Amino acid sequence: MSILSGKNILLGITAGIAAYKTASLTRLFIKAGATVKIVMTPASKDFITPLTLSTLSKNPVFSSFVNEEDDNAVWNNHVELGLWADLFIIAPATANTLSKMANGACDNLLLATYLSAKCPVYFAPAMDLDMYKHQSTLTSLKSLQGFGNIMIPATSGELASGLVGEGRMAEPEDIVQFIEDDILGKLPLRGKKILITAGPTYESIDPVRFIGNHSSGKMGFEIAKSAAKMGAEVILVSGPSHENVDSHLIQLKKVTSAKEMYDEVHLHFETADVAILSAAVADYRPKNVATQKIKKKDTTLTLELEKTQDILKSLGEIKTKQFLVGFALETNNEMANAISKLKSKNLNMIVLNSLNDKGAGFGSSTNKVTFITGDHEAKEFPLKSKSEVANDLIQFIIKTIDA
């Protein structure tokens, strides 16, 4: 999944021959999972039609303050467009538009939207060689970057005039890659490795039966997604679950038993910066696993169980630099039991939730948690979706490890 997935992208198109590339650029943004709206300068419609771009973006294309063909004269609100966007990409950005942007000129809808935008603005210059090297253009580029806008550098190649040199707009694939890399590079967990466990474990009784629990894995998967959105490299070790992820920053390692999870977690823990163990690992497993299906003969069946390895405690015993987070699902004496687990397993933090809270626990899309840190400070949250809980947890960890 691209970091652009779910983003609102406003694509601004100005009057340069490179405008023909914006059809491909629009498709790439859509493929990345973004919602795309397009605003054009009036003259840019000579190079590519609004119909093409509207069809590809699945949204109306804006090019004037008022829809001239509309009898009701509907105003296209540049302020709303600017506030709607998570990212504003102006490509191609001609010398004319760059100069106007740098000097605050506002004689079309695109420029008015630019002046109203509160989001990051990227611009991809496109013009002929002499125009690109002209001092006025260089001044515009410097001014715009000084305002905090981000330039996607022009490349060298054959230009519309027939000259060969710098001034060619970056290719659509390179523009998308540049933006993704720029966003990722600024995220707070970029360069951090986070190890997460999720789901239940299944402990075999015989080839067809097992001991398990009702964990869906949703909480752990949401934590992994949230960490990836903040730029982390995520190793997600999950027991059996119907949940899935599609981010290229998440490596999903599927396991079944507590022993398999123990082994997989220990493979990655040494290089992890943060470990969040949210899996509901079985505490016991059958001591002897039948090689053939156990036949139903008697009215009762006795199983001898033995303890599984305590994954969380084992990590607490060997941790060095890692920030270690555990989960505590309790039914009574919740706070006391959670603090006891925090101390006995040498954790930096524990997330407490209670089965007594409606909407919390296994199989639910919501959760109600309390964060408890190593100095026993507690922060309680109201009932939220597990996605929101995951975001709260990741933000809390970011603030804690950066403190």
Span 58-71, pLDDT tens digits: 999 999 988 766 66
- Is residue 356 annotated as a catalytic residue, yes or no? no
User: What is residue 151's predicted lDDT score, i.e. its pLDDT?
Assistant: 98
User: What is residue 359's predicted lDDT score, i.e. its pLDDT?
Assistant: 67
Q: Does domain 193-402 have CATH number 2.60.120.260?
A: no
Spatial contact of 384 and 261, defined as CB atoms under 8 Å apart: no
pLDDT band at 350 (very low <50, low <70, confident <90, very high): very high
User: What is residue 68's predicted lDDT score, i.e. its pLDDT?
Assistant: 63
| Cβ atoms < 10 Å from Cβ of 53 | 25
* Pairwise CA distance, residues 71 & 85, whole Å: 28
Pairing of strands 323-330, 305-307: unpaired
Within 104-246, residue ranges assigned H as helices are 109-116, 129-133, 135-146, 172-185, 218-229
Which of residues 325 and 214 earns the better pLDDT score?
325
pLDDT band at 10 (very low <50, low <70, confident <90, very high): very high
Which of residues 130 and 124 earns the better pLDDT score?
124
Sign of the dihedral through C-alpha 223, 225, 227, 232: positive
Burial class (CB in 10 A: 0-12, 13-18, 19+), 283: middle
Measured at the CA of 159, the angle between CA 157 and CA 162, to 5 degrees, comes to 115
pLDDT band at 139 (very low <50, low <70, confident <90, very high): very high
Q: Is the predicted pLDDT of residue 185 greater than 80, yes or no?
A: yes
Stretch 325-347: mean pLDDT:
91
Q: Is the predicted pLDDT of residue 89 greater than 70, yes or no?
A: yes
Q: Is the predicted pLDDT of residue 257 greater than 90, yes or no?
A: yes
Counting residues of the chain whose pLDDT is more than 70, the rounded percentage is 97
Stretch 260-270: mean pLDDT:
98
Task: Tell me the CATH number for domain 8-185.
Answer: 3.40.50.1950
Stretch 314-342: mean pLDDT:
93
Q: What single DSSP character describes residue 288?
A: S
pLDDT band at 376 (very low <50, low <70, confident <90, very high): confident
User: What is residue 226's predicted lDDT score, i.e. its pLDDT?
Assistant: 96
Stretch 137-143: mean pLDDT:
97
Stretch 274-292: mean pLDDT:
95
Which of residues 363 and 190 earns the better pLDDT score?
190
- Are the folds of 8-185 and 193-402 the same? yes
Measured at the CA of 292, the angle between CA 210 and CA 296, to 5 degrees, comes to 75
Counting residues of the chain whose pLDDT is more than 90, the rounded percentage is 81
pLDDT band at 145 (very low <50, low <70, confident <90, very high): very high
Q: Which of 9-23, 158-172, 292-306, 355-369 has the lowest mean pLDDT?
A: 355-369
- Residue showing tokens 């006995």: 344
Parse the chain into domains and list their residue ranges. Answer: 8-185, 193-402
- 111 CB-near residues (< 8 Å, 6+ apart): 97, 100, 101, 105
User: What is residue 69's predicted lDDT score, i.e. its pLDDT?
Assistant: 64
User: What is residue 72's predicted lDDT score, i.e. its pLDDT?
Assistant: 66
* Pairwise CA distance, residues 255 & 209, whole Å: 17
Q: Is the predicted pLDDT of residue 103 greater than 70, yes or no?
A: yes
Q: Is the predicted pLDDT of residue 356 greater than 80, yes or no?
A: no
pLDDT band at 403 (very low <50, low <70, confident <90, very high): low
Stretch 20-39: mean pLDDT:
97
**Measured torsion, CA atoms of residues 25, 28, 33, 35, in degrees rounded to the nearest 10:** 20
pLDDT digits (tens, 9 = 90+) for 215-231: 999 999 999 999 999 99
User: What is residue 71's predicted lDDT score, i.e. its pLDDT?
Assistant: 60
Tell me what the pLDDT averaged over the chain comes to.
93
Measured at the CA of 83, the angle between CA 78 and CA 88, to 5 degrees, comes to 85
Residue among 213, 332, 353, 391 flagged as catalytic? 213
User: What is residue 396's predicted lDDT score, i.e. its pLDDT?
Assistant: 96
Q: Is the predicted pLDDT of residue 331 greater than 80, yes or no?
A: no
Whole-prediction pTM: 0.83
